[in-house]
Structure 1
Amino acid sequence: MKVYKTNQIRNIALLGNAGSGKTTLAEAMLFEGGVINRKGEVTAKNTVSDYTDIEHDYGNSVLPTLLYTEKNGVKINILDTPGMDDLCGGVVSSLNVTDLSLMLVNATNGVEAGTEAAGRHAEAMNSPMVFVFNQLDHDNSNFDAALDQCKATFGNKVTIVQYPVDAGPSFSSVIDVLKMKMYKYNDKGEVEILDIPDSEMEKAEELHNELVEMAAENEEALMELYFDKGSLTEDEMRKGMKLGMLQRDLYPVFCTTAKKGIGAGRLLEFIANIAPAPNEREMRNVVSGKAVKMEESEPPSLFVFKTTVESHVGEITYFKVMSGKISEGLDLINSKSGNKERLSQVFVAAGKNREKVDELVAGDLGCTVKLKETKFNQTLTTKEADTKFEPITFPSSRHTVAVKAVNDSDDEKVGEVLNKLKYEDPTFIIDYSKELKQLLVHCQGEYHTNVLKWYFDNVHKIEVNYLQPKIPYRETITKAAQADYRHKKQSGGAGQFGEVHLVIEPYEDGSEPKSMFKFGDKEQKLSVRAVEEHKLSWGGKLIYCNCIVGGSIDARFMPAILKGIMEKMEEGPLTGSYARDIRVYVYDGKMHPVDSNEISFKLAGRNAFSMAFKNAGPKILEPIYDLNVWVPSDRMGDVMSDLQGRRAMIMGMGSEKGMEKITAKVPLKEMNKYTTSLSSITGGRGVFDISFDGYEKVPADVQDELLKAYEAEQEEE
């Protein structure tokens, strides 16, 4: 393969709802560019893009796939992305290394949930977009209705470059108002370029003038030319359209029926002529080291956006060349570890087909194999430059499950598999919770967990169950209480003896220790001699006050008492959850000259604390999250009702980007499977984000329920 210069490269991402035809269009583009000599079909499981077993089983894209084709001396790298929003990690990583998004719209269904979701990701990355209306040969295809929906969702920036003459089963012709020609296709997808018929000329000229105006608006010089001449040449229009696309002020519309090859060649021609080259977009931010430009003359550097593992090949590392030239045998430094990596081979990829190349230049996409440690989101560069590019930021998790092997002997294997899969799909966040004693997988939704289950069942042959994650409750107290406990044990030889008297009370930031408590008719005076403040790793504080006078407990035993109290804080007396925000006063006790030791006072302190805790108005706290939900206006009432059933406190409502926005505070306990529920209520169009806010006391009925559940669990054990 020839070496393409930076200005001869285009990087595009195929976006759209599942079933919009992205993989089929990719197949048509590869056929058009001569990369393949026969087009595959998704139903026949022989496409270049969806080549993995899981994609064959699911019948749609699960992973982003790197492809390439060629048009008029320009190399076009294509990333075919998944259409399910649960698999949005592939969309986000692809948008981070491409310079143009092709948004496919099923002309029968119009704007779907996946279209909106992909549009949000493209907007977040400031990606230029071209709309491709596909499947125009279907019985129920409706170009005008789909166009109106696109304009309602994405604004009047959606601008016709092509429209169909005869949408429906007989679809074969499009009018191109940029070229001012009619493209007519035969059954083999071969095109004949004709003059626009008289019956379409008035409409075509009107749309051409609209396109000219949209192109001219993007540069003052073009606007002056337009005013002077009343029109623009095709080259002037190309310049204006490119500027408009780069500023996201223009979203051109093209027409295809990818399965028949209709429109694919003209679309590629447009991409080659007008789409931005890699060096015409903003350079990725450099977080440390030398800043580089996307030029061949710069020191070589690359950014890894994807890693996968294939049988018989091993780990494959996909990258974008950010600067300089990359060639076989080149040694670079991993900017994270500082270790050397050798690029033993360099490939361009068309799905599972990889072709060795001598060199890739700045802006190109490629892959290599058998790197020692380099993973996604990492930079390889020269030692002198030490450049490190900003990592890709993936969407926050929206769904969590606990994973448990059916056979206990497989527990370790489950952890190993998850730690490998998180590199292939970074939106899987793996976390073993010591507190909950569960292996947690944070992901994007139930479909996402089904994908994970497929890998366990079919690749790794490990049976796993999904469990509902436990809730990280906290325990605290609401009033002061006193307790004393004597630990005494005698069994031949040295015995154990320790006695501890203490008071506990709720702690609030800024509050000072007290010197007097009253329990019933009895007053307890305290003399605080020393105060220790312990910030707890799980949140909150423990304030430990030494009030011992007269040497009733030797100072050397005070740390042991604290240790016993802390042990009980880590396994609260009510439900075994962490305790927090408590002040403890140790004011008296007894020792034995022979039998007293650290273990005795640790156990005495632990048990005295536990006894006092249960008499101090103990309360369970639950995690509360801030929730933002965006929903279509016609589903607002249903979503509100659902949230109220989840004990949510509605904090506000408003409108944002054509959707209604609800802000609320909701207990984590009530958010189980909310992704599925919201999708069901809104037809997949609702989206949300969630972030931790703090802890609040649970209602009395919920606390009673939790206490009974814990007691039953303890009895079973």
Structure 2
Amino acid sequence: MKTYQTNEIKNIAILGSSGSGKTTLAEAMLFEAGVIKRRGTVEAGNTVTDYFPVEKEYGYSVFSSIFSVEWMNRKLNFIDCPGSDDFIGNVVTSLNVTDTALMVLNAQHGLEVGTINQLRYTKKLHKPVIFIVNQLDHEKADFDNTVYQLKERYGEKAVLVQYPLNCGENFNAVVDVLKKKMYRWKPEGGVPEVLEIPDEEREKAEELHQKLVEAAAEHEDSLMEKFFEQGSLTEEEMRFGIRWGLVKRDIYPIFCVCAARDMCVRRTMEFLGNVVPYVVDMAHPINTEGEEVKPDSKAPTSLFFFKSTIEPHVGDISYFKVMSGSVHEGDDLVNSDRGSKERMGQIFSVAGQQRVKVDEMVAGDIGAAVKLKDVRTGNTLNGKGIENKFNFIKYPDPKYRRAIKPVNERDAEKLNEALQRMHGEDPTWLIENSKELKQMIVSGQGEFHLKTLKWRLENNDKIVITYSEPKIPYRETITKPSRADYRHKKQSGGAGQFGEVHLIVEPYSEGMPMPDSYKFNGQEFKVQSRDVQTFDLEWGGKLVFVNSIVGGSIDSRFMPAIIKGIMARLEQGPLTGSYARDVRVIVYDGKMHPVDSNEISFMLAGRNAFNEAFRNAGPKILEPIYDVTVFTPADKLGDVMSDLQNHRATILGMESDNEIEVLNAKVPLKEMSNYSITLSSLTGGRASFIMKFSSYELVPSDVQDKLLKAYEATQTTED
């Protein structure tokens, strides 16, 4: 393969819901470009892009797959993305390193929930979108309804480039209003006949052509002037106008395809080769210093590694985008994230599992390297004269959590290593060894996401694991002031232990004033702040410690020990052993002994005084609350809303997005444990949701009672 220059490279992400036919379309593109001689099928498990064993096992894409084709003296780099919402991380990664989205729609279903979720990311990242309406030969194909949905969403910006003459099982022809020709295929597909548009379609085709001309002219002043003067544009001028309309997201072309029978795939690729924006046409990425990095092949070399995999008989494969400069085999580069030096081995242009060695890649190109020494997903390698780092990929928060452990405890270390490696392959698999919960927690985008993780661990790494529902990271706090004192005294020959601490606790919120007195059981306690220390707790919330000692009843050198004792109790709250937070502690009196007082004595006195005061201060349990947004078909809205309310949700509001209802709610994390399974069951897999931590809030009294009883039972069992 020759070295393509930056102005000859186009990077395209293939998106769409599960079942839309993305992998089949990719296979047809590879066939048309001559990369493969025979098209595989998903059913046969022999496609170029779905080649991992887990994908063959499940029958659809799990990982994004890169493939490149040489087409019309240009290089088109494609990334075929999984359609399931559980693998949305692949979509996010791919959109960040490509310049255009090819959105494949199933003609039976049109705009699905998964499609709309992906379209939100194209909007967020300001990526052009081209729509491919696929499976037009299905008996339930409804092209007109799909176009109606697109028009509802994008108005006149959604423009037809093609329309089918006969949707359904007899589909074999389209009218191309850009070319002003009709394409017709034999039943086996392949190379079409190129014919004049039939008389009965000419008026409709001319009207649609005129709309396409107007849409193309809108985006460039000289084209608009020519259009006003002549009323039309040449085909080349239309391509130019459409390209800039795509860059501005002011035009959304619509194409027809039957990928399974290779109908209209070649014509679609011609459009991609001619019209899709080049790398140089798009907004340039920004590095961590806020500097724009232009895709200049003459600049110093900078590579961003966006994906890694491990393949049998090959080992580590690292996929990169050349952000600037050029890269060759043998180049010595520096890893700006890890500080290590790296020598590039062979570099490849890829087509799924196939790799073609190349001599050079320049800015804007996408390629792969094998067996790099110290490169991880998200790292940047730089040449001399440049110190780029990139962190522009922002992944969605996880929404499905499970505690994970090996069946054989001897596999614990091996499991941890495998999980860290898999996180490198898919950063939306998150792994946490929770000191608080005493569990290893793995989080992902859904049940199937974690099911895939389990399959790979057990089949590839031979580690048998079990999943269980994770504990909830509750918090404890207080609701009213309370006072307590505690004397620690121990004598056992020689120097003893003695420390006495008197303290007041009260709930703390940011900016609240400090009273100068408190009253308990009719007795007033005056306090004054000699020293105030505020501690931001690593688990959230604060501890405010006030030294109010007067007269030297406790020497200041013992204050750190008292704080240490209080911290120890905060780490294991008195109610359920959960972390405690948002407490102000005022130490106002105490006693010490000239010989027996020491740090351990005051640490124990402080801890026990705090424990007693906390228990008498109206202690409450807090639970994590999440902001949850559910995207559901309108016909399932009632069921989804009713189910959310059964999950203790507070419904905040709803809005419509065409035929999709968007429901916003606040829901306790405890209630979200199996929500992805429930939602899928309720809606037949047609709904999805996102969730993000919001705050900690008091649990209802009945829930607190259950939690207290459950904790007491575990303590009794342990005793």
Same fold at TM > 0.5: yes
SS in structure 2 of the partner of residue 96 of structure 1: helix
Are 1:292 and 1:298, in contact at CA under 8 Å, matched by a contact in 2?
Answer: no
Once the two structures are superposed, what CA deviation does each residue of 1:447-466 show, in whole Å capped at 9, x if it has no partner? Answer: 21111111121112222222
Once the two structures are superposed, what CA deviation does each residue of 1:52-87 show, in whole Å capped at 9, x if it has no partner? Answer: 101101101111111122222222211111010110
Aligned residues, how many?
A: 717
Once the two structures are superposed, what CA deviation does each residue of 1:344-378 show, in whole Å capped at 9, x if it has no partner? Answer: 11100011111111111222211111222222222
SS in structure 2 of the partner of residue 475 of structure 1: strand
1:314 aligns with 2:315: yes
Structure 1 residues 193 and 525, CA gap change in structure 2 (3 angstroms): closer
TM-superposed CA distance for 1:625, in Å, is 3.2
Show the counterpart of 1:400.
401
Once the two structures are superposed, what CA deviation does each residue of 1:547-584 show, in whole Å capped at 9, x if it has no partner? Answer: 44555444443332332222112111111112223333
Are 2:82 and 2:90, in contact at CA under 8 Å, matched by a contact in 1?
Answer: yes
Show the counterpart of 1:451.
452
Are 1:290 and 1:386, in contact at CA under 8 Å, matched by a contact in 2?
Answer: no
Structure 1 residues 349 and 519, CA gap change in structure 2 (3 angstroms): same
Which amino acid letter does the alignment assign opposite residue 100 of structure 1? T
TM-superposed CA distance for 1:386, in Å, is 1.8
Structure 1 residues 21 and 514, CA gap change in structure 2 (3 angstroms): closer
Which amino acid letter does the alignment assign opposite residue 131 of structure 1? F
Structure 1 residues 146 and 336, CA gap change in structure 2 (3 angstroms): same
Once the two structures are superposed, what CA deviation does each residue of 1:216-251 show, in whole Å capped at 9, x if it has no partner? Answer: 222232222223222222112111221222222222
Which amino acid letter does the alignment assign opposite residue 501 of structure 1? H
Are 1:241 and 1:274, in contact at CA under 8 Å, matched by a contact in 2?
Answer: yes
Which amino acid letter does the alignment assign opposite residue 465 of structure 1? T
Show the counterpart of 1:149.
149
Larger mean CA deviation between 468-477 and 340-349 belongs to 468-477
Equivalences for residues 569-588 of structure 1 within 5 A: 569-588=570-589
Larger mean CA deviation between 441-450 and 469-478 belongs to 469-478
Unaligned runs of 5+ in 2: none
Are 1:290 and 1:387, in contact at CA under 8 Å, matched by a contact in 2?
Answer: no
Are 1:346 and 1:358, in contact at CA under 8 Å, matched by a contact in 2?
Answer: yes
Are 2:482 and 2:520, in contact at CA under 8 Å, matched by a contact in 1?
Answer: yes
Q: Distance between the aligned counterparts of 2:57 and 2:117, measured in 1?
A: 24
Structure 1 residues 171 and 636, CA gap change in structure 2 (3 angstroms): closer
Show the counterpart of 2:300.
299
Are 2:54 and 2:62, in contact at CA under 8 Å, matched by a contact in 1?
Answer: yes
1:8 aligns with 2:8: yes
Show the counterpart of 1:71.
71
Which amino acid letter does the alignment assign opposite residue 353 of structure 1? Q
Are 2:286 and 2:293, in contact at CA under 8 Å, matched by a contact in 1?
Answer: no
Equivalences for residues 674-689 of structure 1 within 5 A: 674-682=675-683, 684=685, 686-689=687-690
Q: Distance between the aligned counterparts of 1:547 and 1:389, measured in 2?
A: 49
Show the counterpart of 1:625.
626
Q: Distance between the aligned counterparts of 2:320 and 2:470, measured in 1?
A: 36
Are 1:288 and 1:386, in contact at CA under 8 Å, matched by a contact in 2?
Answer: no
Larger mean CA deviation between 258-267 and 692-701 belongs to 692-701
Q: Distance between the aligned counterparts of 1:229 and 1:524, measured in 2?
A: 91
1:562 aligns with 2:563: yes
Which amino acid letter does the alignment assign opposite residue 457 of structure 1? E
Show the counterpart of 2:258.
257
Show the counterpart of 2:35.
35
Unaligned runs of 5+ in 1: none
Are 2:300 and 2:383, in contact at CA under 8 Å, matched by a contact in 1?
Answer: yes
TM-superposed CA distance for 1:661, in Å, is 4.3
Structure 1 residues 255 and 289, CA gap change in structure 2 (3 angstroms): closer
Q: Distance between the aligned counterparts of 2:516 and 2:217, measured in 1?
A: 80
TM-superposed CA distance for 1:654, in Å, is 4.4
Structure 1 residues 526 and 318, CA gap change in structure 2 (3 angstroms): closer
TM-superposed CA distance for 1:291, in Å, is 4.7
Once the two structures are superposed, what CA deviation does each residue of 1:197-226 show, in whole Å capped at 9, x if it has no partner? Answer: 323323322222222222222223222222
Which amino acid letter does the alignment assign opposite residue 146 of structure 1? T
SS in structure 2 of the partner of residue 403 of structure 1: strand
Larger mean CA deviation between 386-395 and 351-360 belongs to 386-395
Are 1:314 and 1:369, in contact at CA under 8 Å, matched by a contact in 2?
Answer: yes
Q: Distance between the aligned counterparts of 1:26 and 1:113, measured in 2?
A: 22
Show the counterpart of 2:392.
391
Larger mean CA deviation between 504-513 and 174-183 belongs to 504-513
Which amino acid letter does the alignment assign opposite residue 276 of structure 1? P
Which amino acid letter does the alignment assign opposite residue 78 of structure 1? F
SS in structure 2 of the partner of residue 288 of structure 1: coil
Show the counterpart of 1:121.
121
Are 2:77 and 2:366, in contact at CA under 8 Å, matched by a contact in 1?
Answer: yes
Q: Distance between the aligned counterparts of 2:474 and 2:41, measured in 1?
A: 51
Which amino acid letter does the alignment assign opposite residue 297 of structure 2? E
TM-superposed CA distance for 1:660, in Å, is 4.5
SS in structure 2 of the partner of residue 538 of structure 1: coil
Once the two structures are superposed, what CA deviation does each residue of 1:480-536 show, in whole Å capped at 9, x if it has no partner? Answer: 333333334444555434333333333344445555444335454556654443332
Return the TM-score normalized by structure 2: 0.93
Larger mean CA deviation between 608-617 and 584-593 belongs to 584-593
Show the counterpart of 2:278.
277
Structure 1 residues 105 and 536, CA gap change in structure 2 (3 angstroms): closer
Show the counterpart of 2:111.
111
Show the counterpart of 1:367.
368
TM-superposed CA distance for 1:679, in Å, is 4.2
SS in structure 2 of the partner of residue 211 of structure 1: helix
Show the counterpart of 2:220.
219
Q: Distance between the aligned counterparts of 2:633 and 2:133, measured in 1?
A: 23
TM-superposed CA distance for 1:34, in Å, is 1.0
Q: Distance between the aligned counterparts of 1:207 and 1:532, measured in 2?
A: 72
Show the counterpart of 2:202.
201
Q: Distance between the aligned counterparts of 1:464 and 1:706, measured in 2?
A: 28
1:486 aligns with 2:487: yes
Q: Distance between the aligned counterparts of 1:108 and 1:622, measured in 2?
A: 43
Structure 1 residues 569 and 30, CA gap change in structure 2 (3 angstroms): same
Q: Percent identity?
A: 56
1:102 aligns with 2:102: yes
Return the TM-score normalized by structure 1: 0.93
Are 2:478 and 2:618, in contact at CA under 8 Å, matched by a contact in 1?
Answer: yes
Structure 1 residues 541 and 268, CA gap change in structure 2 (3 angstroms): closer
TM-superposed CA distance for 1:590, in Å, is 4.4
Which amino acid letter does the alignment assign opposite residue 111 of structure 1? L
Which amino acid letter does the alignment assign opposite residue 345 of structure 1? Q
Q: Distance between the aligned counterparts of 1:693 and 1:131, measured in 2?
A: 36
Are 1:290 and 1:385, in contact at CA under 8 Å, matched by a contact in 2?
Answer: no
The alignment's C-alpha RMSD in Å is 2.5
TM-superposed CA distance for 1:27, in Å, is 1.0
SS in structure 2 of the partner of residue 207 of structure 1: helix
Are 2:300 and 2:384, in contact at CA under 8 Å, matched by a contact in 1?
Answer: no
SS in structure 2 of the partner of residue 367 of structure 1: strand
Q: Distance between the aligned counterparts of 1:308 and 1:459, measured in 2?
A: 13
SS in structure 2 of the partner of residue 169 of structure 1: coil
Are 2:103 and 2:132, in contact at CA under 8 Å, matched by a contact in 1?
Answer: yes
SS in structure 2 of the partner of residue 560 of structure 1: helix
TM-superposed CA distance for 1:587, in Å, is 4.0
Show the counterpart of 1:502.
503
Which amino acid letter does the alignment assign opposite residue 27 of structure 1? E
Once the two structures are superposed, what CA deviation does each residue of 1:295-348 show, in whole Å capped at 9, x if it has no partner? Answer: 332222222221111122221111112222221111222222343221111100
Are 2:113 and 2:660, in contact at CA under 8 Å, matched by a contact in 1?
Answer: no
Structure 1 residues 120 and 581, CA gap change in structure 2 (3 angstroms): closer
Are 1:116 and 1:685, in contact at CA under 8 Å, matched by a contact in 2?
Answer: no
Q: Distance between the aligned counterparts of 1:324 and 1:606, measured in 2?
A: 61
Structure 1 residues 537 and 192, CA gap change in structure 2 (3 angstroms): same
Are 1:289 and 1:386, in contact at CA under 8 Å, matched by a contact in 2?
Answer: no
Structure 1 residues 498 and 310, CA gap change in structure 2 (3 angstroms): same
Larger mean CA deviation between 406-415 and 253-262 belongs to 406-415
Larger mean CA deviation between 467-476 and 525-534 belongs to 525-534
Are 2:113 and 2:688, in contact at CA under 8 Å, matched by a contact in 1?
Answer: no
Once the two structures are superposed, what CA deviation does each residue of 1:596-635 show, in whole Å capped at 9, x if it has no partner? Answer: 4332332222222212222222222223333444545444
TM-superposed CA distance for 1:107, in Å, is 1.8
SS in structure 2 of the partner of residue 441 of structure 1: strand
Equivalences for residues 531-546 of structure 1 within 5 A: 531-546=532-547
Are 2:285 and 2:294, in contact at CA under 8 Å, matched by a contact in 1?
Answer: no
Once the two structures are superposed, what CA deviation does each residue of 1:366-425 show, in whole Å capped at 9, x if it has no partner? Answer: 111122222222222223122334431222222222222233333322222221111111
Q: Distance between the aligned counterparts of 1:200 and 1:525, measured in 2?
A: 92
Show the counterpart of 2:463.
462
Show the counterpart of 2:600.
599
Q: Distance between the aligned counterparts of 2:43 and 2:56, measured in 1?
A: 8
Show the counterpart of 1:337.
338
